Amino acid sequence: MKINIYYGGRGLLDDPTLYVVNKMEDVLKELRVNVERFNIYEHKNEISTLPHTFKEADGIILATTVEWLGIGGYMQQFLDSCWLYGDKELMSELYMQPIVMSTTYGEREGVLALENAWEMLGGQPCSGLCGYVEDLVTFELNEEYTVIIEKKAETLYRTISQKIKALPSSNQAVKQTVLRTQSMDLTPQESEQLSKYVSDDSYVKKQKEDIEELASMFKDILGKSKEEEDTMYIKELESHFVPQEDFQATYLLMIEGKQKPLFIQVEDGEMSCHYGKEDNIDVFAKLSSEVMNNIVSGRMTFQRAFMTGEMTAKGNFKTLRMLDTVFNFE
């Protein structure tokens, strides 16, 4: 029999969970169990690959410490990796015993969180162990506490060796009907390969660099597109402008597909235009980009577009007719 221990604390010398784990490890070894411990904080760069160490195990112990709130980051990351990259079929046969010691409030909630998580992963939870420790020395010298810890280790051994089954739980039903691991249907081998890529810092760094490069490239493309959109038709209007003395007017062209209207101002032989909404307009016109393209290419005039209904306008119609005089595209 082989049992893996996954310790999710920070490895502090006064961590009561380490004392409990050491005691349980001694008892299991006396029962001729092959015990292997994984300190998650020592594997923080490859946590995503740790679920693949389940392969030769008959059972596991998840041990962590509540220092201020909940089961802590390392253990949570480990459970996330089990959900994303673990072999669900393999975990369904694994027994798990939670151990949560607390130096504050919340050890019972911690055990319950580990049990719920393991059931949703499809595994078999065993009776856990939890306790509040105010003073580690007093806790270690208490023989009654030591007996309780040893009995829990023996219970785990009997549960695994006899393959004791538990009644169905609602957590497993939720997993089957609601929860979904991921949209891609990956085999255990593909999940293992993916987890190795995730834990490979150089691979992740290269991926981030590639994403940044692509983002920069698309940003440049979008920037150029926005710049082209902001100047569209303006150069054609400027190059075909015919100055008219003693004439002034303002036009607002709402071109289909443009977020902002094209504003044109003609005054004392000069013309200015830009995209943006303005007030006090003499003529307001609405047309499609196709009609505007035909006008600036000389295939159609503003007056003809208005007469055929391809451009609608309101305002001073005498000023509207002056558009073909002010801008000569022929």
Tens of pLDDT along 259-289?
889 999 998 888 888 888 888 889 999 999 8
Q: Give me the pLDDT at residue 8, please.
A: 94
Two tokens, residue 235: 């150069």
Q: Give me the pLDDT at residue 5, please.
A: 96
Highest mean pLDDT among 56-65, 255-264, 293-302: 56-65
- pLDDT at residue 197 tops 70: no
Two tokens, residue 121: 């992963």
Task: Give domain 234-326's CATH number out of 3.40.190.10, 3.30.360.10, 3.90.1720.10, 3.30.1050.10.
Answer: 3.30.1050.10
- pLDDT at residue 3 tops 90: yes
Q: Give me the pLDDT at residue 183, please.
A: 46
The sign of the CA dihedral 221, 223, 224, 230 is positive
- Do the domains at 2-199 and 234-326 have one common CATH topology? no
Mean pLDDT of 196-205: 65
Two tokens, residue 50: 């740790």
Sorted by where each begins, the domain ranges of the chain are 2-199, 200-230, 234-326
Q: Domain 2-199's class?
A: alpha beta
How many other β-carbons are positioned within 10 Å of the β-carbon of residue 54?
20
- pLDDT tens, residue by residue, 145-154: 999 999 999 9
- Regarding pTM above 0.75, the answer is no
How many other β-carbons are positioned within 10 Å of the β-carbon of residue 22?
12
